[in-house]
Amino acid sequence: MQDIYVGDIGKGFPFVLVHGFLGSSQMWEPQIEYFKKNYRVITPDLPGFGKSNKSESYNSITSMAQIIIECLKKKKVEKFYLLGHSMGGMIVQEIVNIVGNQVSKLICYGTGPIGEVPGRFETMDQSKEKLQKEGLKITSHRIAKTWFVREEKAKYFYLCLDAGRSTNLESANNALLAMQNWNGLKKLKNIKNQTLIIWGDQDKSYNFDQADVLNQNIKNSELKIFKGCSHNTHLEKPDEFNDYVEKFLQK
């Protein structure tokens, strides 16, 4: 198993944050600052993304889950809270299916149980075609705009732009393929962990049905909807997001 970059800061119970497509650990900046006071915040850059952009990328959600499990093993992290955003939300569902007893609480955020999401702002095939045609620079800007209600005027838009441009075409294409081929619907009944599902009411990547299916099928779950947010609630309303997540972890 190859090495990837893993941010590791703060002291306390481990809290692992997994970013999504065209993302990086850098996109958790407001969360790292907030949670490092009381938690050991662990933020991996997935293979091919962020500071792991020299690592060989994967075209499988399960393989991405395995590498994070391996990283935590190396760090001797045996129990942890786990949050996944977007594609990272698919990855954390797989992590729970593999090592569920190690996950104290689970947060599925801006995500769903299937990769080929009906009603997404464009299909996975369209994303792949545009990626090849336009290149990474234009694609990362175009997609990052959909993640914010205020589009490129959003305060933290630059974090997403930087993250997207730090990857490469192959890694982005592999990630799209990984999502397209993934379906975790039948495994949801296996998730016994206390789970928080977070959704922004103007999310263009994952519609309400996706969040609702998670909530209906994960037995011990609750759903929190943030009003006036798109796909990146944690960067659109970071204070409210952090506060709500902390209350869930402290329950």
Q: Residue 27: its pLDDT value, please? A: 97
Q: Is residue 12 part of a domain?
A: yes
Q: Is residue 1 part of a domain?
A: no
Instruction: Please say if the pLDDT value at position 1 is more than 80.
Output: no
Full-prediction pTM beyond 0.95?
Answer: yes
Q: Residue 26: its pLDDT value, please? A: 96
Question: What type of residue sits at position 242?
Answer: N
Cα(251)–Cα(241) distance, integer angstroms: 16
Q: Is residue 193 part of a domain?
A: yes
Q: How confident is the model at residue 59 (pLDDT cuts 50, 70, 90)?
A: very high
The CATH code of the domain that includes 92 is 3.40.50.1820
Q: What is the pLDDT of residues 162-206, one digit of tens each?
A: 999 999 899 999 999 999 999 999 999 999 999 999 999 999 999
Q: Is residue 117 part of a domain?
A: yes
Question: 72 lies in which domain range?
Answer: 6-250
Helix (H) or strand (E) holding 247: helix 238-250
Cα(45)–Cα(39) distance, integer angstroms: 19
Q: What is the pLDDT of residues 13-47, one digit of tens each?
A: 999 999 999 999 999 999 999 999 999 999 999 99
Q: Is residue 149 part of a domain?
A: yes
Q: What is the pLDDT of residues 98-154, one digit of tens each?
A: 999 999 999 999 999 999 888 899 999 999 999 999 999 999 999 999 999 999 999
Q: Is residue 147 part of a domain?
A: yes
Q: Residue 3: its pLDDT value, please? A: 87
Cα(175)–Cα(48) distance, integer angstroms: 9
Q: Give the position of tokens 């609702």.
A: 212
Q: Is residue 186 part of a domain?
A: yes
DSSP 165-233: HTS-HHHHHHHHHHHHT-B-GGGGGG--SEEEEEEETT-SSS-HHHHHHHHHHSTTEEEEEETT--S-H
Check: CB of residue 48 under 8 Å from CB of residue 114: no
Q: Is residue 120 part of a domain?
A: yes
How many domains does the chain contain in total?
A: 1
Q: Give the position of tokens 């336009």.
A: 134
